[in-house]
């Protein structure tokens, strides 16, 4: 359901791989990756006509919380993006910059077999709405947690009529259950009440690392010229939140910025482009350093380079907003 990452390739791809891992690294990684990226660009949702029903939508059988079966009629796919509310929820509203957790199933128009399904994987899937195909991004905006939706997406708002192998072509139909939503503003504000650790501030100063930006607002990170590069990973809680502690395997909503050691011009930031990220705290990966860190914290992660792999050290500042 995603479009290709074009704005923040290093942060959304390199950084997620380095810190491990973005939302697709959960149990449904390879399966949902079958329908992730598309070369189609975003459209302005305000320019679209979005219908709330169409006679040609397939009939669905099955209860909420399970993968439905579809029965197709004879009609053509709707020309407009169509979002039919099957069940209305009363939770938080989804915005174009939200992170959402959904269960979903996907069919190519007229197909009897499901193309992709989180129900089959047994686990709901988190997404950044801003990174989704336009049919989802525009179709979900304005709906609410608890909604169960049937969404018909024209090809031009999905992957096109001739998608690459492994991606669905043509007009598509989704059934989507919105289970959680958190906005970019909520993610950014998550650290506003965190307690600053003055010893951690001094540690960073001694290392030549500077974090700028108020708690509850965008942060940046820089490294002083000549500062010694880290030789091992260091996880430094700069400001401690009061939320639940993160556990291994948790999927967390966060914002982050990073620089390559010795090159402050390489700064990339999800606050500036890309929006909040979803990562899974996986054993053996750098982001595993967040285990035990309370939600609402601001954390600095210093990573050593690997000469054999041609990589340099790096410094990250991470604001941890919520466990999804």
CB 314 within 8 A of CB 18: yes
Report the pLDDT value the prediction gives residue 310, as an integer from 0 to 100.
87
Structure tokens given for 199: 């010893």
Domains 34-182 and 187-323 share a fold: yes
pLDDT in tens, 279-313: 888 887 778 889 999 999 999 999 999 888 888 99
The predicted model scores a pTM of 0.77
Higher pLDDT residue, 203 or 18?
Answer: 203
pLDDT at 22 over 70: no
- The domain segmentation of the chain, as residue ranges, is 34-182, 187-323
Give the CA angle between residues 73, 79, 81 to the nearest 5°: 100
Least confident of 37-41, 149-153, 181-185: 37-41
List alpha helices for the chain, DSSP H.
9, 16-19, 29-33, 118-121, 134-140, 184-189, 198-207
Instruction: With cut-offs at 50, 70 and 90, classify the pLDDT of residue 3.
Output: very low
**Residue 301 region by backbone torsions, left for phi larger than 0, else alpha for psi between -120 and 50, else beta:** beta
Domain 34-182: give its CATH code: 3.10.50.40
Report the pLDDT value the prediction gives residue 127, as an integer from 0 to 100.
86
Domain 187-323: give its CATH code: 3.10.50.40
Higher pLDDT residue, 3 or 220?
Answer: 220
pLDDT at 23 over 80: no
pLDDT at 45 over 90: yes
Which is nearest to 102 in space by CA: 189, 23, 184? 23
Structure tokens given for 5: 């990452």
pLDDT in tens, 76-106: 999 999 999 999 999 999 999 899 999 999 9
pLDDT at 158 over 90: yes
DSSP string, 101-129: EEEEEEEETT-SS-SEEHHHHTS-EEEEG
């Amino acid at each position: 359901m995603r479009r290709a990452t074009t704005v923040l390739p290093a942060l959304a791809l390199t950084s997620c791989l380095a810190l491990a891992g973005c939302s697709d690294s959960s149990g449904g990684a390879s399966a949902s990756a079958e329908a992730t990226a598309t070369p189609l660009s975003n459209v302005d949702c305000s320019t679209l006509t979005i219908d709330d029903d169409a006679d040609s939508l397939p009939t669905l059988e099955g209860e909420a919380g399970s993968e439905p079966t579809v029965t197709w009629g004879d009609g053509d796919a709707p020309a407009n993006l169509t979002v039919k509310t099957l069940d209305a929820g009363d939770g938080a509203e989804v915005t174009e910059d939200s992170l959402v957790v959904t269960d979903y199933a996907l069919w190519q128009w007229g197909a009897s077999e499901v193309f992709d399904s989180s129900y089959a994987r047994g686990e709901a899937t988190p997404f950044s709405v801003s990174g989704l195909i336009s049919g989802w991004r525009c179709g979900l905006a304005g709906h609410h947690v608890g909604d169960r939706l049937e969404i018909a997406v024209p090809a031009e708002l999905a992957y096109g009529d001739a998608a690459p192998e492994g991606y669905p072509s043509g007009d598509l139909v989704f059934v989507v259950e919105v289970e959680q939503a958190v906005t970019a503003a909520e993610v950014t504000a998550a650290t506003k009440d965190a307690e600053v650790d003055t010893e951690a501030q001094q540690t960073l100063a001694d290392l030549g690392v500077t974090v700028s930006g108020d708690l509850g607002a965008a942060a940046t990170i820089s490294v002083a010229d000549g500062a010694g590069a880290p030789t091992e990973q260091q996880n430094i809680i700069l400001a401690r939140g009061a939320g639940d502690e993160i556990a291994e395997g948790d999927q967390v909503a966060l914002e982050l910025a990073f620089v390559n050691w010795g090159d402050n011009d390489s700064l990339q930031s999800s606050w500036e482009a890309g929006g909040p990220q979803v990562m899974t705290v996986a054993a053996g990966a750098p982001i595993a350093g967040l285990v035990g860190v309370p939600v609402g914290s601001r954390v600095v992660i210093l990573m050593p380079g690997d000469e054999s792999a041609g990589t340099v050290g790096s410094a990250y500042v991470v604001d941890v907003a919520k466990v999804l």
